[in-house]
Structure 1
Amino acid sequence: MTHHILKATKENVHLGGFSHLLEPALTIDSGDTIDVETYTGYYVYDKAPPEFLTPEFVDICQNLPPERKIAAGPHLLTGPIYVKDAEPGDVLEVILEAIAPSLPVGFNAIRTGWGALPQQFPQPALRFVRLDLVHNIAEFPPDSGIKIPLKPFFGILGVATPETARTSIPPGCYGGNIDNRELQTGSRVFLPIFVSGGLFSIGDGHSAQGDGEVNVTAIETSMNGRIILKLRKDLQLSTPVAETSTDIITMGFAQTLDAALEMAVKNMIDFLERFVNLSAEDAYVLCSLAVNFRITQVVNSPQKGVHGMLPKSIFSHKINL
């Protein structure tokens, strides 16, 4: 297997969305390892402190080619990565081997009309949050004594679809802006593939986030990672599934939390039928007895997210994905 380094440059990133027409930033074989660099804050760089800025990031913000500006989403994504032999109907396994902030500062933004309480907090607000990368904490508010553990993850892990320009804001069957705080180092994410090569992109680094991400953003952070991309022709999925060291995760995305919960439950039942050989009714009962359904996010309009966490510890045998 080959090891690649994918730097975030104006040639290797794209802004605001996904497109199957994008020129790949990298072409790999299944099983290759990639050290990937991501930046965040394209629309706030002119307000950022010096520690937030690198010459490469400033170059991206000032000189990103028009063809790399895909849609109106705020996210700067690294990729896409083309996986040889990947075809629609296959599954892409994304192994998250390492995730770490690359800079000692991130930001949080309240955006007018967004978030869980847009009427109560209508004014935009931008805060830059210092990261203590030695002690792995962020103190917020500053000098408050409130210390938030850093638990970094990538908010966006997604593949392209046949759409020419799909915004990066909502998640869906392709992954995208999942914003699931459980997908930290050591996790695996399984994404259905919709176009040749998969065209996987990554970004939207978060150093810390609560379930729900209620004010629209987490601690948005430029993030580096090491990933392995594996082509899985032995799997068939219609929606993303993930695995952490402790849980299997199914997801639901819909315009209401009720509908997102219903989808997450149905997807968990389907998983238990296929991979644990339970009947649908037994799977439904097990969901009520042992699966924890949590709000992923409520802000990525028009899609809210709910995820179900199935503890692997309850099984006497390994679940093979």
Structure 2
Amino acid sequence: MIDHLLKANCQTVHLGGFSHKLSPALTVNSGDRISVETYTGFKICDRAPDAFLTAELIEIYHNLPPERIVGDGPHLLTGPIYVNDAQPGDVLEVRLEAISPRLAMGFNAIRGGWGALPQEFSEPRLRFIPLNLEQNCAEFPPKSGIYIPLRPFFGILGVATTESNRSSIPPGIYGGNIDNPELQAGSRLFLPIFVPGALFSIGDGHSAQGEGEVNVTAIETSMNGTILLKLHQNLSLTAPIAETPTDIITMGWGSTLDEAFEFALKQMIQFLENFIGLDAEDAYVLCSLAANFRITQVVNSPKKGVHGMISKSILPQTFKFIRDDHF
């Protein structure tokens, strides 16, 4: 295992989407650990206070090469990371070892025409929100006495596909803009691989987010992280699946919440069949008795998201999902 440092600069970030044509920012072997820097707020740099800006972000804002702009999304992502020997059909494990804000400042934006209530809240608004990193909270609204606990996570964790310029906005079976606040440090995400090398990218840091992310954004935050990438060539997945210290999480996306829920439910049934050994009907019943399905986000048009969670405490004691002593 080798430890790498992947800093965010004009040669190691890309804007707006995913593309298999991007030059890798880093090449690693399976099992390598990467300390990674990410920035957010590329599109609002011209309106940001000094506390939000760094010399590196300003340099990226002014000098990002055109070939590193690959989609219409607003997200600045670090990567892609090429994993040696990764091939389509394999699975990439992303082990989230540490996640922490780079700066004591984040932002929230209402975008005109977006969000869960675009007619009621149609005017664009941009708010910068200080983070109290010592107390691990943010007060919002200012001077309200309402303190939001910080639960930092990366909103985007995804791999490239054969699509040359895929927007960073909608999530899908490749991961991407998942926006799942359960993916805290100590979790693992498993992604199907579609192109050689996987070409994994990371970003869209959130210091806090409610499930649903109803006004389009969370507390968007430039974020540091430590991840470990591991290749699984004897595992087959048709959609991402995650494991936290307490739960197995399946994910679903669709143009409606009904479609997203149905996808997440079918993925949970498939997990219970493939890894626990239940038949489909028993798995379906168990989901009704013990699984919880939650709205992940409703704003990453055109895909809404639902995730299903089942506690590992109720599963057989012999169960290990892709065995790892960490869990």
1:69-118, CA deviations, whole angstroms, 9 ceiling, x for partnerless residues?
00110000000000000000000000000000010000000001100000
Q: Secondary structure at the match of 2:99?
A: strand
Q: Which amino acid aligns with 2:20?
A: H
Name the residue aligned to 1:320.
321
1:110-121 equivalent positions in 2, closer than 5 A: 110-121=110-121
Name the residue aligned to 1:241.
241
Name the residue aligned to 1:72.
72
1:207-254, CA deviations, whole angstroms, 9 ceiling, x for partnerless residues?
000000000000000000000000001210010000001100000011
1:89-168 equivalent positions in 2, closer than 5 A: 89-168=89-168
Name the residue aligned to 2:186.
186
TM-score, normalised via structure 1 length: 0.99
The size of the alignment, in residue pairs, is 321
Name the residue aligned to 1:7.
7
Where structure 2 has 5 or more consecutive residues not aligned to the other structure, the ranges are 323-327
1:183-225, CA deviations, whole angstroms, 9 ceiling, x for partnerless residues?
0000000000000000000000000000000000000000000
* Identical residues among aligned pairs (%): 70
Name the residue aligned to 1:302.
302
Find the aligned partners of 1:320 and 1:144 in 2 and give their Cα distance.
44
Name the residue aligned to 2:24.
24
Find the aligned partners of 1:253 and 1:232 in 2 and give their Cα distance.
24
Find the aligned partners of 2:231 and 2:182 in 1 and give their Cα distance.
23
Find the aligned partners of 2:310 and 2:139 in 1 and give their Cα distance.
32
Name the residue aligned to 2:325.
none
Find the aligned partners of 1:142 and 1:233 in 2 and give their Cα distance.
50
Find the aligned partners of 2:71 and 2:263 in 1 and give their Cα distance.
27
Quote the offset at 1:315 in angstroms: 1.9
Quote the offset at 1:62 in angstroms: 0.6
Find the aligned partners of 2:181 and 2:159 in 1 and give their Cα distance.
19
Q: Secondary structure at the match of 1:36?
A: strand
Q: Secondary structure at the match of 1:44?
A: helix
Q: Secondary structure at the match of 2:204?
A: strand
Name the residue aligned to 2:175.
175
Quote the offset at 1:319 in angstroms: 2.8
Q: Secondary structure at the match of 2:42?
A: coil
Find the aligned partners of 2:77 and 2:24 in 1 and give their Cα distance.
12
Name the residue aligned to 1:214.
214
Q: Secondary structure at the match of 2:43?
A: coil
Name the residue aligned to 1:257.
257
Q: Contact 1:14 / 1:69 at 8 angstroms: preserved in 2?
A: yes
Find the aligned partners of 2:24 and 2:51 in 1 and give their Cα distance.
30
Find the aligned partners of 1:115 and 1:53 in 2 and give their Cα distance.
26
1:42-79, CA deviations, whole angstroms, 9 ceiling, x for partnerless residues?
01011111011110110000100000000110000000
Quote the offset at 1:316 in angstroms: 3.3
Find the aligned partners of 2:16 and 2:144 in 1 and give their Cα distance.
35
Q: Contact 1:276 / 1:319 at 8 angstroms: preserved in 2?
A: no
The answer as to 2:264 corresponding to 1:269 is: no
1:282-297 equivalent positions in 2, closer than 5 A: 282-297=282-297
Find the aligned partners of 1:141 and 1:111 in 2 and give their Cα distance.
19
